[in-house]
């Protein structure tokens, strides 16, 4: 649309130059002794051109609206692609030196203070990203049923979400950590302050996620928010990106069938009517970046290498 308008402007300008300058030159040559007649003729020709070209141009408000809409669309699209451009700041905390002396801890990460933020670049600053506060997250998820299903990464995401909603200093978080990290088990919690119900479902394989979605479909009762992610276990125990890609396509088919769309409508338009249709907000946790030094067995270091990680990550993109 914008290119067509610019083309019309260029064409109109060229036509104006021909129509105006040629007659004006001829008039100037013949009417050099009568300047009033010369300028009157030039003004008449200019007005005539404006009258004839006006219907071919949009009004100024329409032009401004179309340009601003295009700018907003491009801006939003680029910001979506930049939302994961973050950087970490990791520093030893007060317990770090004590850890070096005792070597008595189950997790080295507990002795580091970790803080993340969006990378410092002009494009990211223009997007004006802001972190959600506890009150923001509580308002957004007030009264919602949230299901998080997947492998250990999904479990860590569950912990982070509850840490945001309950607060890092909440005494309940100690109980949450103890129950949530029971080996290969599900977890449920009800946040009374907001009425949010959260279910974590241990589903380390994509096939488990597909069965979960099919159960929701059969029961005709879907959560308000569903967050899924799996792939690490498949990479370790099957090490076959093509098979992983196949299971992802099967899962996608089942997920699409949950959406409130009608096959009878063209372009998959949403079903409309007097009865509102509940639609879940669906999110997928991408493949985490693997750090070789954090892989604690020879089998993991051999199978979960960079080449295999890129193959699995590519399957997600397809």
Token couple for 147: 């299901």
Which residue in 285, 287, 209 sits closest to 252, CA to CA? 209
Tens of pLDDT, residue by residue over 150-180, are 999 999 999 999 999 998 777 888 889 899 9
pLDDT band at 294 (very low <50, low <70, confident <90, very high): confident
> Where does CATH 3.40.50 sit in the chain?
133-317
* Average pLDDT estimate for 52-60: 57
CA distance 60 to 50: 15
Q: How many Cβ atoms from other residues are within 10 Å of residue 212's Cβ?
A: 19
CA distances from 80 to 120, 129, 154 (A): 16, 10, 22
pLDDT band at 271 (very low <50, low <70, confident <90, very high): very low
pLDDT value at position 106?
A: 46
Give the containing element (helix H, strand E) for 284: strand 281-284
Rg (CA), the chain: 31
Instruction: Give the residues across from 200 on adjacent strands.
Output: 148, 187
* Average pLDDT estimate for 123-146: 90
pLDDT band at 113 (very low <50, low <70, confident <90, very high): confident
DSSP 3-state assignment of 90? strand
* Average pLDDT estimate for 310-318: 89
CA distance 88 to 91: 10
Q: Look up the CATH architecture of domain 133-317.
A: 3-Layer(aba) Sandwich (3.40)
Token couple for 88: 């970490």
* Average pLDDT estimate for 182-186: 89
CA distances from 7 to 2, 101, 158, 255 (A): 9, 74, 53, 45
Please say if the pLDDT value at position 120 is more than 90.
Answer: no
Q: How many Cβ atoms from other residues are within 10 Å of residue 226's Cβ?
A: 24
pLDDT value at position 127?
A: 87
CA distance 42 to 25: 10
User: Strands 196-202, 187-191: parallel, antiparallel or unpaired by DSSP?
Assistant: antiparallel
CA distances from 28 to 39, 43, 48, 50 (A): 9, 13, 19, 21
| Widest CA span in the chain | 105
Of the listed ranges 24-38, 61-75, 86-100, 290-304, the one predicted with least confidence: 61-75
C-alpha angle 111-129-73 in degrees, rounded to nearest 5? 145
């Amino acid at each position: 649309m914008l290119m067509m308008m610019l083309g019309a402007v260029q064409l109109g300008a060229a036509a104006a130059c021909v129509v105006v300058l040629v007659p004006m030159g001829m008039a100037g040559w013949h009417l050099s002794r009568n300047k009033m007649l010369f300028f009157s003729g030039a003004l008449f020709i200019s007005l005539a051109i404006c009258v004839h070209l006006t219907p071919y141009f949009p009004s100024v408000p329409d032009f401004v609206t179309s340009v601003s809409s295009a700018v907003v669309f491009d801006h939003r699209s680029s910001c979506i692609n930049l939302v994961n451009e973050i950087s970490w700041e990791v520093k030893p905390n007060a317990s770090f030196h004590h850890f070096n002396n005792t070597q008595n801890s189950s997790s080295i990460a507990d002795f580091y203070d970790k803080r993340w933020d969006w990378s410092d670049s002009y494009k990211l600053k223009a997007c004006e990203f802001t972190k959600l506060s506890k009150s923001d997250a509580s308002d957004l998820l007030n009264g919602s049923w949230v299901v998080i299903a997947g492998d250990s990464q999904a479990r860590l995401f569950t912990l982070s979400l509850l840490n945001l909603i309950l607060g890092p200093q909440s005494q309940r978080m100690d109980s949450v950590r103890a129950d949530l990290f029971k080996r290969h088990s599900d977890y449920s919690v009800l946040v009374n302050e907001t009425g949010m119900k959260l279910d974590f479902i241990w589903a380390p394989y994509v096939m488990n996620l597909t069965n979960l979605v099919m159960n929701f479909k059969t029961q005709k009762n879907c959560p308000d928010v569903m967050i899924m992610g799996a792939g690490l276990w498949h990479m370790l125990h099957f090490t076959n990106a093509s098979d992983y890609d196949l299971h992802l396509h099967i899962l996608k088919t089942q997920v699409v069938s949950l959406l409130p769309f009608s096959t009878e409508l063209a372009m998959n338009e949403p079903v409309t009517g007097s009865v509102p249709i509940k639609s879940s907000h669906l999110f997928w946790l991408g493949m985490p970046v693997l750090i070789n030094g954090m892989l604690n067995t020879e089998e993991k270091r051999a199978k979960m290498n960079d080449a295999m990680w890129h193959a699995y990550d590519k399957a997600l993109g397809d």
